[in-house]
Amino acid sequence: MTSRIPRDSRLRLVGRAPLAAPVRTVAEGRPRRPAPRPPEGTPPPTELARAARTVLAGAAALARWSAEALRPAATGPLRTPPAPRGHEGTLSPAQAGKAAAALGLRPAEVRAHWDAARLAGLVETHGGHARPGWRLRAWDRDDMAVLRGWVALFDAWSLFHPAHAESATPIDPTAVAEVVEAMPQLLSVLQLSAGTAPREELLDLLDQRITELRDARCELPAPGLTVPAPAPLPELFDWALDRLAGVGALTLPEGDGGEIALTPLGSWAVWVKLEQICVAAQSPAGNIEQSAEDMLRGCVRLRPGEARAEYRAWIAARTVGTAVQELLDAARGDDALLRQLAFEALRAVGAPAEPGVREVSADLPLRPYALLWLAEQEGGDAEDAHALLTREESTWLWIDTAAALNDHGDTELLVRHIEAAHQPTIPALLDEVRAAGHPLTVQVLLALAAAHPDPALAKAVRRAAFQVHTGG
């Protein structure tokens, strides 16, 4: 009852072994897209992670300080004061003063480091309070966790408030939105031109791009409405450059002349974004425009690598928040196979999916999957992660996985799935399965009885299915 099932494919048996695709498809004959290589001269991941740790050293130090200084108990949240929506988890002036004194920083630097810590996932906000993020625990040992945290900060560059960028003059929100929308093209041009370009050249390109965006919207003012004068573009450009330099993506020349340059981190991040666009344009199985449910169904018969490529292409064509929400909505349904596939796709999303997964970790259909997913994100082993589940949750997940195997049509793995159960005997397993309350219990037991070669065991399983059906 406790023998291991080999990890030979992508869907997971009760969080342990994956489910193999039983048939070969036309997609298997397609040429594989070679793994993309970063531009020549890009530092190795270890060096990039070292640079990211340097950029976020102050944020990491502040996150560690807050974990000890602001926590009322060993497992409690950081007590940050109430704040307007979108600003939850902000340090109070008194807390910022304590941090400044403890770390030898100015209050403005504390605010900048706190912004960076929140945006990079070193600090998380839950229920209006802040707490240390899982990425903080992995900070010193996991280079990819560090790089993902820095990329999250890079993606949110317009929200970052560097200490030296305090401005007494408010900036027009519409003009800011236009600059934020136009900057990715400028960064792409910068990356494709060996990473450097004169400031005036980039400013001219920004002006052209904003004009294109305004022309594409074709916005006409209402009759009698006075159109406000646009904000001075050079000031907005300097604001954007300052924010991007603050997150470590750019280096700026002194004075008005000179060239703006991408840092190695910035160049690598822009290359990653360009590759994501290329992947989205080369969806392996053509599901990129489909809903999450249809995309997942389209991946059922793909080989593991092809399915992961399809997940990544589908995700890259959407904002992360939209992709995560669609996948979780698909997982909430009655289809156990879709639930398994949805969490495989969420593994392709990685750390940015964590807030959404945490939100559903209290819902029974998704709770076991969410707890195992979160444990994996925190660096835990899938075998050990089962200790996080209650016996009832483990049994519920066992039934759900069996239902997915049945939908997948793999009777061999369905039979071997009995061996993956936590219960030591078949009678104990059937007792707990009958008590689990899973809506697909009868179908699962009947499928097991039909597939199992042992007549005595099959008879016992059919009897259990009858008892569940009749309420016995």
pLDDT confidence of 5, banded at 50, 70, 90?
Answer: very low
Distance in angstroms (rounded) separating the CA atoms of residues 275 and 466: 54
Least confident of 97-106, 239-248, 382-391, 461-470: 382-391
pLDDT at 36: 62
Q: pLDDT tens-digit profile of 75-130?
A: 444 555 544 444 456 788 888 888 899 999 998 899 999 989 988 888 877 655 67
200, pLDDT greater than 70: yes
Q: pLDDT tens-digit profile of 326-364?
A: 999 999 887 888 898 999 999 988 878 888 898 888 887
12, pLDDT greater than 70: no
pLDDT at 28: 38
> Taking the chain, what is the end-to-end CA distance rounded to the nearest angstrom?
26
Asked whether 432 and 423 are in contact (CB, 8 A), the reply is yes
Q: What is the mean pLDDT of residues 442-462?
A: 82
Q: What is the mean pLDDT of residues 395-422?
A: 79
Distance in angstroms (rounded) separating the CA atoms of residues 161 and 164: 8
Residue type, 250: L
Distance in angstroms (rounded) separating the CA atoms of residues 279 and 314: 9
227, pLDDT greater than 70: no
Distance in angstroms (rounded) separating the CA atoms of residues 377 and 362: 18
Distance in angstroms (rounded) separating the CA atoms of residues 236 and 251: 17
Q: Return the DSSP state at 78.
A: B
Distance in angstroms (rounded) separating the CA atoms of residues 332 and 370: 12
Q: Return the DSSP state at 39.
A: P
pLDDT at 128: 59
Q: Return the DSSP state at 266.
A: H
Q: What is the mean pLDDT of residues 226-238?
A: 71
Q: pLDDT tens-digit profile of 249-264?
A: 999 987 666 789 999 9
The angle formed by the CA atoms of residues 5, 404 and 383, to the nearest 5 degrees, is 35
Nearest to 156 by CA among 327, 352, 345: 352
Q: What is the mean pLDDT of residues 438-460?
A: 82
If one compares 203 and 82, the residue with the highest pLDDT of the two is 203
E strand spans, 87-222: 123-126, 129-132, 196-198
CB-based burial of residue 314 (10 Å sphere; 0-12 exposed, 13-18 middle, 19+ buried)? buried
DSSP H helices, 156-232, are 173-192, 199-217
Side-chain half-sphere exposure of 367, counting CA atoms within 13 A:
12
379, pLDDT greater than 60: yes
Highest mean pLDDT pick, 270-279, 378-387, 426-435? 426-435
pLDDT at 278: 66
> Please, which residues have CB within 8 angstroms of residue 103's CB and are 6 or more apart in sequence?
58, 61, 62, 65, 110
> Please, which residues have CB within 8 angstroms of residue 295's CB and are 6 or more apart in sequence?
287, 288, 310, 314
pLDDT confidence of 17, banded at 50, 70, 90?
Answer: very low
pLDDT at 38: 75
